Amino acid sequence: MLRVQGPRWAVFLFFAWTVCSVAVVSGRAQENQPGVEVAAIAAAGESAGLAGAAPAGTEKGIISGTLLDANGDVVQGAQVELLGSAAAPVQTVQSGSDGQFVFEQVTAGVYRLHITGASMSPYTSGEIGLKSGESLIVPAIQLTVTGGVTSVTVVGDPAVLSEEQVRIAVQQRIGGVIPNFYSSYDWNAPPMLAKQKFQLSLRSILDPVSFLTVAGVAGAEQYQNVFPAYGSGLEGYGKRYGAAFANHVSGTLLSRAVYPALFHEDPRYFYKGKGSVMSRALYAMSAAVMARSDSGRWIPNYANVLGNFSAGAISNAYYPAADRGVSLTLLNGLAETGADAASNLIREFVLKGMTSHVPSGANGQP
Q: What is the pLDDT of residue 99?
A: 87
Report pLDDT for 34: 40
In single-letter form, the type of residue at position 35 comes to G
pLDDT at residue 55 in the model: 55
DSSP state of 273: -
Other beta carbons within 10 angstroms of residue 19's beta carbon come to: 12
Residue-by-residue pLDDT tens, the chain, 366 positions: 333 344 444 434 444 444 444 444 444 434 444 443 333 333 333 333 334 444 555 689 999 999 988 778 888 889 999 999 877 788 999 998 888 999 999 999 999 999 998 778 899 999 999 999 899 999 999 888 665 443 333 345 788 889 999 999 999 999 999 999 999 999 989 999 999 999 999 999 999 999 999 999 999 999 999 999 999 999 999 999 999 999 999 999 999 999 999 999 999 999 999 999 999 999 999 999 999 999 889 999 999 999 999 998 999 899 898 888 888 788 888 989 999 999 999 999 999 999 999 988 889 998
Ordered alpha helix ranges (H), the chain: 8-27, 158-169, 194-205, 208-223, 233-253, 259-263, 277-286, 302-315, 326-346
Per DSSP, the three-state class of 251 is helix
- Contact yes or no for 13/179 (Cβ under 8 A): no
pLDDT of residue 261: 97
Give the span between the Cα atoms of 173 and 1, in whole angstroms: 9
Could you tell me if 143 and 121 are in contact, meaning their C-beta atoms sit under 8 angstroms apart?
yes
| Confidence (pLDDT) at 57 | 58
pLDDT for 152 equals: 36
Note the pLDDT of residue 264. 96
| Chain centre to alpha carbon of residue 105 | 23
Residue 70: how many other CB atoms lie within 10 Å:
11
Q: Give the pLDDT confidence score for residue 50 in this predicted structure.
A: 38
Question: What confidence score (pLDDT) does residue 253 get?
Answer: 97
